[in-house]
A and B are shown apart, each in its own frame.
Chain A
Amino acid sequence: NAGVTQTPKFRILKIGQSMTLQCTQDMNHNYMYWYRQDPGMGLKLIYYSVGAGITDKGEVPNGYNVSRSTTEDFPLRLELAAPSQTSVYFCASIAGTAYNEQFFGPGTRLTVL
């Protein structure tokens, strides 16, 4: 298994541009999460999904959108990028119940200039 994969690894955006961060897991996990981590800070939950077709907001959802059309994929969409969205974005998934460990992807480092 490749686990949780994220693309791209790095990206520089101009203010106002949009992009989609890809996240795929091949472990048949139902629960998937998107976090952002600002320099020297903890992880903030953006959106999460408990299964295909079901998504819900986390702590910091403004400026982002998600979809979950399949179990494997959970893309994160940034519309109208702003400098405040400069961060490292991590995708994670959980097997079984939400009480199990989270498996994280390698992250996408995004800079908005």
Chain B
Amino acid sequence: GQQVMQIPQYQHVQEGEDFTTYCNSSTTLSNIQWYKQRPGGHPVFLIQLVKSGEVKKQKRLTFQFGEAKKNSSLHITATQTTDVGTYFCAGRTGGGNKLTFGTGTQLKVEL
């Protein structure tokens, strides 16, 4: 079945440093979504990418979808303590009704 892996599993950064998490799928995706889950909370939708090579920005967050639509990345510039949480990618194949979630990257930001 479809597998979606994320690296790294954990990342500790000092406040102000940049952070990147990478998402890799075993199959070509029709679209990819990113979610953020704060400690003890539930996943919250951040963004969706659909087109090959697509890049979207939300303030300090930059999302990319690979040319082959099998990988994606989330980059945070100048991290803040409010960025703490686990970031998940989630991909969909074909016209299916299901998302396959990645393994997640847990981000900790130290002052």
Contact = CB atoms under 8 A, between A and B. Distances in A.
A32 to B, nearest CB: 11
Interface residues of B, number: 25
B44 A42 contact: no
Contact of B48 (A90, A101, A107): A101
B103 A42 contact: yes
B45 A101 contact: yes
A15 to B, nearest CB: 26
B65 interface: no
Nearest to A30: B97
Contacts of B63: none
Contacts of B103: 41-42
A41 B88 CA distance: 10
Interface residues of A, number: 26
Interface stretch (A21-29, A43-51, A78-86): A43-51
A105 interface: yes
Interface of B: 1, 30-31, 33, 35, 41-45, 48, 50, 88, 90, 92, 96-104, 106
